[in-house]
DNA sequence: TCGAAAATGGAACATACGGTTCATTTTATT
DNA sequence: AATAAAATGAACCGTATGTTCCATTTTCGA
């Protein structure tokens, strides 16, 4: 009773993240069964949101009364008010874009068609991000960044649709103090620039079907010259995948024939900043992060 | 009883989308109060998921018993089983990126730090898209596209961080057969190119704080020469907003000092494709709305 | 206009729910 | 080892919930 008085003085978490932090903070000081509930709650928040005290208790392997004690330990006056927080969490999640889109499609056929177009691109971007978030392989990423970290100059190879990504990488690397060279067609100097690259350098090549022949050819030459290639492409059958030491398969959703660049952009920024981080501070091995 | 027997032969929707389709299908044949509930349910699915029969009925302006009748009309044996579908819908939504991020941060502090960086950019992109989806104004969008539709040549103005967007717009407009001119610093010919623009043309100018002086200056000159400007920027106080006939405020989330481009990209593609659609087929005025 | 059938409102009902209480077990302290 | 304090389990209780039932109103066809 008294030991929960001081905690009641702090405002009770009304949102899930704060509650989560509170639970993790108290984890050590909770009684065994209560801690068991706490762990279950953080692992199965949806169950807490929808289940009944009895069903949750059964799933968590405790008595229903323990749930109430758990809530009271945290300062809530009962299980119900704790449950509200878990429900709010689900409420606040914004509607997914897929869902929103189908809604939009169903209504007004003619008007707001411009809005529908933008929504389409937003949905494509969102989906692409979602897919990448699930499919990206940590180890591939680490290898790519290690490889790029060792390079004196990073050459960036991309044409047409992929070019915006390349220009963003070049911009970011420049801001981060990493030497880089963007290969673009306009200057007409691509062959000369490429001939400077050595095995001490590295290449980021970006190309999606239908693959720009210039990008493929240049990647081939560079690879043959011993310059390691990191490729971002859309398929294992991509010509780029053959020449690459490390390659990422990125599945971008499309809308109206134009594929999103959102996932590729995020990956590109990840590579860029990852290299920059390695070079200052996190040098070599990754370690010594203080806390979360 | 009998008229719902044949519907019971079809499997009952267990997921929300199927339920939604079923309701829309039956909409016409439902009694007035039941239809009222049906409309409320589709408009406030979260309320159905979390509320009690009494609270929902009150919000929808009907008796609790009507809710049960509604569920039974659809073939469910009661309100509770219908509610399950609305709850499943919330359960199935994939975890949001914000949430996923905090989880990642909490666990393994040392390893997978590269992954954390990419996740950060994915989260920033996702958030930006989310915000745009909520804040984008349909009327502004329509005005911008109408304005661009009237242009002989579309000039695209952007430097530094915004340049990737500009290059993508130029690429897309080219593919769609819309005449455009990308203004870039490299050529050193910006002033000459700009001097060709007339009031029959239009400009898309993109700049975020800290605003590239070249972009601002060129937008000023073009605007003074009577060339209408569509601006994409980050604040009402942006210098670009002053010169623009139409301007969009885009709030991009950032990670590690680098702001996302995801929302800006989607908007840019929307403008681009919107104009192209207007020019072929949907030509000129938007009208002829058939229904609501 | 009349009558039957469907729809609706509202009260009554059974029960499943969260919360409380108390006996028992476990833990900590001296 | 003895005792006090905390934690736990399990039965109990009041209430709020979903559901059912019935009287009334509305709708539709003859």
Please enumerate in sequence order all residues whose Cβ is within 8 A of that of A193, keeping only pairs 6 or more positions apart, or say none.
A155, A181, A183
Q: Which residues of chain A make contact with B119, given a CB cutoff of 8 A?
A: 133
Q: Give CA–CA dist A204/A228, Å, rounded.
A: 9
Chain A nearest-CA distance from B155, in A, is 17
Residue A96: the pLDDT is 53
Task: Show the tokens assigned to B213.
Answer: 């002086």
Give the position of tokens 């929504």.
A119
Per-residue confidence band for A188, with pLDDT thresholds at 50, 70 and 90:
low
Q: Give CA–CA dist A67/A74, Å, rounded.
A: 11
Mean model confidence pLDDT for chain A = 83
Q: Give CA–CA dist A245/A247, Å, rounded.
A: 7
What integer is the mean pLDDT of A8-19?
71
Residue A193: the pLDDT is 73
Is pLDDT above 80 for A168? Answer: yes
Instruction: Return the bridge partners of B249, or none.
Output: B233
Is pLDDT above 50 for A288? Answer: no
Q: Give CA–CA dist B113/A53, Å, rounded.
A: 39
Cβ within 8 Å, pair A286-B258: no
Residue B11: the pLDDT is 63
| A136-156 residue pLDDT tens | 999 999 999 999 999 999 999
Residue A290: the pLDDT is 30
3-class SS at B201? Answer: coil
Residue B5: the pLDDT is 37
CA trace torsion B59, B64, B68, B70 (10° rounding): -40
- Averages of pLDDT over runs of 10 residues in chain B (292 residues) are 40 81 86 90 89 92 93 91 89 57 46 82 91 89 95 95 95 93 74 79 93 92 95 91 93 89 96 91 40 26
Residue B189: the pLDDT is 65
Give the position of tokens 């990493």.
A178
Q: Sort strands B254-255 and B258-259 into parallel, antiparallel or unpaired.
A: antiparallel
Q: How far does Cα B210 stand from its chain's mean position? A: 25
Residue A2: the pLDDT is 36
Q: Nearest CA to A256 among B114, B269, B87?
A: B269
Q: Which residues of chain B make contact with A290, given a CB cutoff of 8 A?
A: 109
What integer is the mean pLDDT of A162-187?
90
Is pLDDT above 90 for A265? Answer: yes
Which of the two residues, A97 and A185, has the higher pLDDT score? A185
3-class SS at A206? Answer: strand
Q: How far does Cα A199 stand from its chain's mean position? A: 31
Residue B147: the pLDDT is 95
Residue A5: the pLDDT is 37
Å from B45 (CA) to D21 (C1')?
A: 29
Cβ within 8 Å, pair A273-B267: no
Q: Give CA–CA dist A195/A251, Å, rounded.
A: 32
| A31-40 residue pLDDT tens | 888 999 998 9
Per-residue confidence band for A88, with pLDDT thresholds at 50, 70 and 90:
confident
Q: Which residue is nearest to nucleotide C27 (CA to C1')?
A: A31
3-class SS at A74? Answer: helix
| A189-226 residue pLDDT tens | 666 777 778 889 999 999 998 899 899 999 999 999 99
Q: Give CA–CA dist B129/B131, Å, rounded.
A: 5
Q: Give CA–CA dist B268/B172, Å, rounded.
A: 10
Task: Show the tokens assigned to B240.
Answer: 């670009």
Q: Which residues of chain B make contact with A49, given a CB cutoff of 8 A?
A: 90
| A222-263 residue pLDDT tens | 999 999 999 999 988 899 998 899 999 999 998 988 899 999
Report how far apart, in Å, the C-alpha atoms of B158 and of each of A260, B162, B204, B214, B240 are: 20, 5, 8, 9, 11
Residue B187: the pLDDT is 59
């Amino acid at each position: 009773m008294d030991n929960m008085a001081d905690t009641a003085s702090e405002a009770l978490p009304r949102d899930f993240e704060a509650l989560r932090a509170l639970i993790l903070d108290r984890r050590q000081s909770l009684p065994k069964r209560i801690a068991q509930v706490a762990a279950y709650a953080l692992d199965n928040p949806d169950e807490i949101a929808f289940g009944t005290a009895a069903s949750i208790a059964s799933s968590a392997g405790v008595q229903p009364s323990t749930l109430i004690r758990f809530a009271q330990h945290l300062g809530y006056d009962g299980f119900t008010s704790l449950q509200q927080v878990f429900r709010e969490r689900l409420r606040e999640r914004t509607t997914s874009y897929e869902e929103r889109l189908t809604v939009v499609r169903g209504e007004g056929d003619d008007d707001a068609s411009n809005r529908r177009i933008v929504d389409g691109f937003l949905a494509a971007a969102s989906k692409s991000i979602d897919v990448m978030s699930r499919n990206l392989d940590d180890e591939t990423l680490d290898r790519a960044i290690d490889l790029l970290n060792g390079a004196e100059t990073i050459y960036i190879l991309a044409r047409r649709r992929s070019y915006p990504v390349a220009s963003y990488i070049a911009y970011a690397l420049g801001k981060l103090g990493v030497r880089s060279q963007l290969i673009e067609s306009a200057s007409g100097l691509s062959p000369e620039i490429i001939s400077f690259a050595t095995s001490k350098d590295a290449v980021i090549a970006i190309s999606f079907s239908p693959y720009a022949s210039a990008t493929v050819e240049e990647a081939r030459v560079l690879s043959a010259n011993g310059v390691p290639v990191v490729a971002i492409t859309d398929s294992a059958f991509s010509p780029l995948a053959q020449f690459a030491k490390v390659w990422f398969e990125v599945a971008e959703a499309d809308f109206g024939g134009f594929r999103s660049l959102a996932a590729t952009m995020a990956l590109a920024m990840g590579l860029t900043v990852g290299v920059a981080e390695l070079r200052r501070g996190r040098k070599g091995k990754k370690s010594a992060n203080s806390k979360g």
